[in-house]
A and B are shown apart, each in its own frame.
Chain A
Amino acid sequence: MAASSVAPTPLLTDELDIVIPTIRNLDFLEMWRPFFQHYHLIIVQDGDPTKKINVPEGFDYELYNRDDINRILGPKASCISFKDSACRCFGYMVSKKKYIFTIDDDCFVAKDPSGKDINALEQHIKNLLCPATPFFFNTLYDPYREGADFVRGYPFSLREGAPTAVSHGLWLNIPDYDAPTQLVKPRERNTRYVDAVLTIPKGTLFPMCGMNLAFDRDLIGPAMYFGLMGDGQPIGRYDDMWAGWCTKVICDHLGLGIKTGLPYIWHSKASNPFVNLKKEYKGIYWQEELIPFFQSAILPKECTTVQACYKELAKQVNAKLSNVDPYFTKLADAMVTWIDAWDELNPPSKAGLANGSA
């Protein structure tokens, strides 16, 4: 195949923050150094704020522990989870950059089938910088990738695509299974490298995993609230799921796209399935009500900003889900608090310009 002159992917070092929640240490960053070195890190330290988190030398970072979160947000800090990686969304809020990449501290560099190290961040940037195609399915997946294109029958009027708001990466080795599946298949490893990026069609929900995720903060940031999880909450391990369902409904409403597929990272640690089961238990039942809720959620035309959409969703959560469990009334309140906190830390004048319109 003829080598096409493909422009190198821009680094976006001044436009992207890497948000990492941690409770232990950040040794994993050593392996990522060649790819992360030039980026600013926002570390959200969960758990005991007196513990000192060791950041490897040479990284430019800001670190926030629980005391910082309380100080910065005051009473609004109640919307940020404690003792759960959901606290990472605080990092999204304080960032001043256009793009966010978030990764878990047990995720390492994976290799592609040729044995080459995968620069996950570069692939996420590629995904975010080129359009998504949510309105019609392209059977050759991402048509903007080199070596691919739109197939016969794809309407030309839809070939400009939609702005990409989210890039959802995947995981080799330990797959992101729920506790029951982990218990039944403790030895299953994901060894299948699927060389595709594709847009999740408009109107279709998906389970968004926060382990290897990037998004355009200007386009969708306020929707990336990871909910109330962990300490004092009846549920865990549904933070990213919740953010994903809200984000997808809002993206569909605003005409934005979400991609999934490449890049892969290597997920090294399987969390304890019994601990996971306790955390997820309620979620497994509640999910059966949540999915129809999100599938039928309609946002009014007047909601043209992410914040307006999100507050409207919060209203609907309160109206329709509180009979599932009082937790959802609390969550709806926290969703509003989150938006208020977001707007306080991010004055709306900039945000209003950048949001997609309905």
Chain B
Amino acid sequence: MSDTVIKDDEVDIVIAALRSDLTSFMEDWRIIFSRFHLIIVKDPDLSEDLKIPDGFNHDVYTKSDIDQCVGSASTSVLFSGYSCRYFGYLMSRKKYIVSIDDDCVPAKDNKGHLVDVVAQHIWNLRAPATPFFFNTLYDPYCAGADFVRGYPFSLRNGVTCALSCGLWLNLADLDAPTQALKPEMRNSRYVDAVLTVPARTMMPLSGINVAFEREVIGPALFPGLRLGGEGKLRWETIEDLFSGMCAKVVCDHLGLGVKSGLPYVWRKESGDAVESLKKEWEGVKLMEEVVPFFQTVRLLRSAVTAEDCVLEIAKMVKEQLGPSDRVFTRAADAMVEWIKLWKAVASASTSAA
């Protein structure tokens, strides 16, 4: 992994700015981010100007940019709060996108070395995934590991990895009830593994620390499910979880892989779990319907692109989940609008690698 050679123009780092002063965030990440192009999207609900230190190659998008591109009605429906990052995905022209929440800083591994989150994510995306059979030694392609005895040879080529989901030390991505019940709990366990999440296995895809291959899976990472009481803390959202499950279904259908594990980021203390509890219940309740739905989604063979898949899923969301809660109907509409935007804006052209 340390030998991963990444061309500067292959990667966009997309940051959703939910707080205006990004100085310490950017300084903490400078050593890792400074060689790449950054897309910083300011939460349209944030009134203060962004403070960004010098020395970064970056583009900033604010409410007026988003309004101009998608119309102000869409801005507020689709791109406020954490979801503003999706506008960054729309604007990117790079092969890979790495996206990290603005309350995270670089973590240290077991040996005390700073984790290069970009290098690890790109390694994950470049090495094949192995979704059809579980390898008990985890990632078989990394140095010092391989496929174990009993692993079918015909499956050892693997498939393209479209999505890499990293983890978090310190404040883990727990829901509010869990964190409220265990206020002192912090994740201090550094698990030195990357593994492919098997085909047809659903998982909660946290948006805090992700990377993906833009053209292949970009359409399936969308701002869809907005809670009525959605707030500016991760405890008060499930948009990434909803979109993530959709992305997993799409990957399974298209024969792409999703990995989970390294890299870690260090997530800073923020928010009050007990306070968020008041807003969280809606999300917790909805997951009870969302998960069984995605576990049983089967897409038509004719859906051969991520866009096709998302549109098909949107129809199913409307028909099967819509009747129980209007939040799903709105999500389905948002998904359709997202694909329209993606086709119009994002598919324009890829910059040559």
Contacts and interface: CB of A to CB of B under 8 A. Distances in A.
A113 B165 CA distance: 25
Nearest to A158: B291
A139 B145 contact: no
Interface in A167-224: 168, 170, 175-178, 181, 185, 188-196, 200-209
A139 B206 contact: yes
A1 B189 CA distance: 11
A122 interface: no
Contact of B192 (A1, A150, A158, A193): A193
A195 B198 contact: no
A284 B153 contact: yes
B134 A204 contact: yes
Contacts of A1: 184-186, 188
A291 B150 CA distance: 10
Contact of B133 (A176, A204, A260): A204
A140 interface: yes
A39 interface: no
Contacts of A238: 150
A191 B137 CA distance: 11
Interface stretch (A7-15, A45-53, A65-73, A141-149): A141-149
B288 A155 contact: yes
B148 A153 contact: no
Given A113-B110, A176-B149, A194 B202 contact: no
B60 interface: no
B240 to A, nearest CB: 8
A156 B135 CA distance: 28
Given A136-B202, A153-B175, A287 B288 contact: no
A18 B173 CA distance: 39
Contact of B187 (A136, A140, A154, A287): A140
Nearest to B240: A153
Interface in B175-206: 175, 178, 182, 184-193, 197-206
Interface residues of A, number: 59
A157 interface: yes
B202 A137 contact: yes
A288 interface: yes
Given A1-B188, A137-B201, A139-B204, A207 B150 contact: yes
Contacts of B197: 137, 201
A2 B174 contact: no
Nearest to B147: A181
A77 to B, nearest CB: 27
Given A170-B136, A260-B136, A141 B191 contact: yes
Contacts of A137: 197, 201-204, 260
Nearest to A189: B144
Contacts, number: 177
A207 to B, nearest CB: 3
A188 B204 contact: no
A154 B204 contact: yes
Nearest to A196: B191
A241 interface: yes
A201 B182 CA distance: 27
A209 B148 contact: yes
A263 B206 CA distance: 28
B241 interface: yes
A191 B144 CA distance: 7
A151 interface: yes
B287 interface: yes
A81 to B, nearest CB: 17
Interface in B126-150: 133-138, 144-150
A258 B249 CA distance: 24
Contacts of A155: 287-288, 291
B136 A209 contact: yes
B133 A291 contact: yes
28 contacts: A1-B185, A1-B186, A1-B188, A138-B203, A138-B204, A140-B187, A149-B174, A149-B185, A151-B175, A152-B178, A152-B234, A153-B204, A153-B241, A170-B137, A175-B148, A176-B149, A177-B146, A177-B149, A190-B137, A190-B145, A192-B145, A201-B198, A203-B198, A205-B133, A207-B133, A207-B135, A209-B148, A288-B152
Interface of B: 110, 133-138, 144-155, 165, 167, 172-175, 178, 182, 184-193, 197-206, 234-235, 238, 241, 260, 284, 287-288, 291
